[in-house]
Chains A and B, each alone.
Chain A
Amino acid sequence: MTAVADRVSELRADTSTWRRAVSPYVVTVLIAPVIYGVWSYITNSGMVPSILLPTPQKVFEAVPRVVGAKGFSDHVIRTVSEIVLGFGLGALVGFGLGMLLGSSIRLRTAYLPFLSALEAIPTVILAPVIIAWFGFGIEGKVFQAAIACFYAVFITTLSGLGLAEPNSVQLMRSLCASKLQIMRMLKIPAALPVIFGGLQLGATTAIIGAIVSEFVGSDAGLGYLLQRYRSGFDTPAVWVMIGIFLIFGLIAYLILWFAERKIVFWRAAAISRPDLEKQ
């Protein structure tokens, strides 16, 4: 028994020195060529049909063709404005309603039963309805993106406003602070980190809303372009489009991450990823 335990601790000591010597990010960098190799192997050997996943060479060859196509920048601008406008609208309404309900206990108690219903609704089911209402233009996509991201911002604002320390609220009260001052100086700063979590979630859902709406019916935009390439069985071009959407998602993520670090600067340390946190 003790021999086993000794062996275990020995092994543990071994691995920990090994782990100290090699940064995890070395492995991160090494994973990329492995993925490329597997991708290249399974596609070239015919294990995966090329209609689903073409070889990496073909996809990279398709990049200049897709990006250089006439009108590509118009499609990009169209989709970006749908996402930005929809996200802005949804986040604004979500923040406003969250503030409204967050500042009144009575309203909050009254609307509590509706909140979980709001959470559950899959907004994509409205996509055909929105197409019927707004047509193939940009308005419907903005609306779809807005309702897709509204809930995340709303619920995080609402629950964030309850996060302020009760003692701090009492201190503010004893210093004769008005309700507005308590809100501005204490409750909103306490809620901001949580609200940013909601904004990040909302950015993802807004992008999904805009794309789904473009898939269902549109006359321009990257989702429309992807559908067109797919119906032409141009799978390498479809994968280039998927790569572009990945870049979109990463850009949205980075913008919000930087904004969070700038605006919620006092939490900058806590925002860093927990796996990197020491103690």
Chain B
Amino acid sequence: MTSALRVRPTKAGVAKVDGESSWWISAGTIVVLALAWELVPRFLDDRTLFPTLSDTAAGLVRLVSAGYWWSDLTGTLMSVVVAWLIGCSVGLVAGIALGTVPFIRTAITPYAIAVQALPKIVLAPLFIGWLGFGPQSKIAIAVVICFFPVWIDTMVGLALPKPNEFKLMQSLNATRAQTFWKLQLPSAVPMIMVGVKHAMLLAFTGVLVAEILSASAGGLGTLTKQFSSQLNMPLTFAVVIVVVVIAVTLVSIMDVIERRVVFWSEESRSRKS
């Protein structure tokens, strides 16, 4: 595939450096940002659109103590998880089916590029029109959006071993299945994990877009849309904060899983490059 798909934003370049104390920069930045958020809106003519930090905090307390939003929260989370599971399975199966044979991989590359180039979110209105405002349309959109990185990363990952490594397997009289299980899959797993993590974020995005577009479906996206159209900005920001917290939590969980599953990955990455 192209470099866009091969070069993932890694944190290789942002390794922690010992001996340089810099916590005061992080803490200082947080304080400055918080102060700016609290003070700047007070000098604006229109405070409705830009709530201060304390307004937002009050909105968050109001949101969390209200009973009505729990179904929205669980609805969003359920849709994300279901869509992510389906998308990853589809992507993995498609990647293995199409990625183990170099001939097929080369043949379908132009189509893979086309699928990548299409902003799949444009299908959202169609799915909503077809499947209605329920969770099915949310899940369908999220699946279509999130299966792609898993598919591509599986395909690229299976092709990662060097020609000599394939030749070694051949000279050891390994069957195709053995080559797959012992050589291709282990070297593909770090890459697949990146795709799986990316898919989680994309599934979340897909569900939120579907919820924002179909305003009667329920879910955190619908809440944001409704609150902002009432110009109730503190509550809108409260929902945004909830979404950010969920997203960060999901990514942290994925990071932990990634480290557990591909504990050898840093080493293998440095070997590959």
Contacts and interface: CB of A to CB of B under 8 A. Distances in A.
A158 to B, nearest CB: 6
Interface string A9-25: 00000000001000011
A126 interface: yes
Nearest to B242: A125
Most buried by A among B117, B130, B159, B229: B117
B239 to A, nearest CB: 8
Contacts, number: 234
A160 B13 contact: yes
B68 interface: no
Contacts of A49: 130
Interface in A263-279: 271, 273-276, 279
A101 B29 CA distance: 14
A111 B201 contact: no
Interface in A235-279: 235, 238, 241-242, 245-246, 248-250, 252-253, 256-257, 260, 271, 273-276, 279
A5 interface: yes
Contacts of A238: 125-126
A271 B40 CA distance: 47
Contacts of A169: none
Contacts of A194: 7
A161 interface: yes
Interface in A154-195: 155-156, 158-163, 193-194
A129 B228 contact: yes
Contacts of A256: 4
Interface residues of A, number: 88
Given A106-B25, A120-B250, A276 B228 contact: no
B122 A245 contact: yes
B130 A152 contact: no
Interface in A13-64: 19, 24-25, 27-28, 31, 49, 51-52
B20 A106 contact: yes
A125 B25 contact: no
B129 A51 contact: yes
A155 B228 contact: no
Interface stretch (B57-65, B88-96, B202-210, B263-271): B202-210
A119 B2 CA distance: 22
A212 B129 contact: no
Interface in B140-162: 156, 159
The secondary structure that dominates the B interface is helix
Interface string B13-47: 11111001011011001000000000000000000
B173 to A, nearest CB: 6
A116 B118 contact: no
B26 A113 contact: yes
Contacts of A246: 114, 117-118
A122 B205 contact: yes
Contacts of B110: 28
B67 interface: no
Interface in B167-194: 173, 175-176
Given A52-B130, A159-B11, A117 B244 contact: yes
Given A52-B130, A117-B244, A230-B126, A245 B119 contact: yes
5 contacts: A161-B13, A197-B4, A211-B122, A212-B209, A279-B163
What are the 8 tightest A-B residue pairs by CB atom distance, in nearest-first order? A162-B13, A249-B117, A197-B7, A200-B4, A159-B13, A110-B25, A24-B106, A155-B9
